[in-house]
């Protein structure tokens, strides 16, 4: 939206004043979330906050913490997740991004690209053949990505325009010897 310009001696029109009011209201709506700051006639744009809020398509994406999972077929899962960023350097320093992206196992779930090929039989996305997991001497299964794992996430737009969320992390295998 272009903010109208006023010139000396020009009469004020209702249209120009309304467009000005709409522009100020739009800035005020943005102002509360840290992206835009307005002070003494200066408008500032916080690029750091803006970059966190806008997922990068086809690039590095963003980081997400897995917060839950549900089965979505044989050795496949859908994941609940929240967008995170490092609070400081070092391990265990991830914080949820305020107003960031998130999903549940039923709304905007994340999926693992390496699980895409998983099935009840054969070699799975992590390179393990399930025929070797359940034998006379042992019982092992493909595991979901653990809760609290931080993964690189990408928003990918499907051909029907739907936003989907994907990451690519190998599944673990766990079980016991009989």
Q: Six-digit token pair at 91?
A: 């391990």
Q: Average pLDDT of 117-125?
A: 94
Asked whether residue 172 falls in the same domain as residue 159, the answer is yes
Which tens digits make up the pLDDT trace of 23-41?
766 666 655 555 556 565 5
Q: Which residues of 125-156 are buried (b: 16+ CB within 10 A; e: fewer)?
A: bbebebeebeeeeeebebebbeeeebbebbbb
Asked whether residue 108 falls in the same domain as residue 146, the answer is yes
Q: Six-digit token pair at 87?
A: 């609070």
- Structural domain range at position 42: 14-51
Number of folded domains that form the chain: 2
Would residue 8 count as lying in a domain?
Answer: no
Asked whether residue 42 falls in the same domain as residue 78, the answer is no
Asked whether residue 90 falls in the same domain as residue 152, the answer is yes
Asked whether residue 98 falls in the same domain as residue 164, the answer is yes
Q: Of the candidates 51, 78, 96, which is a domain's last residue?
A: 51
| Residue 56: strand, helix, or coil | coil
Question: Percentage of the chain surpassing pLDDT 90?
Answer: 52
Asked whether residue 26 falls in the same domain as residue 75, the answer is no
Which tens digits make up the pLDDT trace of 3-14?
667 777 777 777
Whole-model pTM?
Answer: 0.67
Asked whether residue 41 falls in the same domain as residue 59, the answer is no
Instruction: Give the rounded distance of the alpha carbon of 143 from its chain centre.
Output: 22
| Residue 134: strand, helix, or coil | strand
Q: Is residue 15's pLDDT more than 80?
A: no
Average pLDDT, the chain: 83
Higher pLDDT, 121 or 6: 121
Which tens digits make up the pLDDT trace of 47-56?
555 555 555 4
Asked whether residue 135 falls in the same domain as residue 59, the answer is yes
Q: Average pLDDT of 17-21?
A: 72
Instruction: Give the rounded distance of the alpha carbon of 96 from its chain centre.
Output: 11
Asked whether residue 62 falls in the same domain as residue 39, the answer is no
Which tens digits make up the pLDDT trace of 59-116?
558 999 999 999 999 999 999 999 999 998 888 889 999 999 999 999 999 999 999 9
């Amino acid at each position: 939206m272009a903010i109208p310009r006023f010139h000396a001696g020009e009469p004020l029109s209702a249209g120009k004043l309304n467009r000005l009011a709409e522009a100020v209201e739009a800035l005020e709506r943005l102002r509360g979330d840290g992206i835009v700051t307005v002070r003494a006639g200066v408008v500032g744009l916080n690029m750091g906050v803006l970059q966190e809020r806008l997922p990068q398509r086809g690039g590095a994406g963003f980081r997400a913490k897995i917060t839950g999972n549900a089965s979505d077929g044989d050795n496949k899962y859908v994941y609940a997740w929240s967008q995170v960023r490092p609070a400081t350097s070092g391990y265990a320093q991830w914080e949820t991004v305020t107003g960031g992206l998130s999903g549940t196992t039923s709304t905007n779930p994340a999926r693992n690209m390496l699980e895409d090929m998983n099935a009840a039989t054969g070699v799975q996305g992590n390179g393990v053949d399930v025929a070797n997991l359940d034998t006379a001497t042992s019982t092992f299964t493909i595991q979901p990505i653990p809760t609290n794992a931080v993964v690189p996430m990408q928003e990918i737009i499907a051909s029907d325009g739907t936003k989907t969320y994907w990451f690519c992390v190998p599944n673990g295998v766990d079980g016991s010897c009989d």
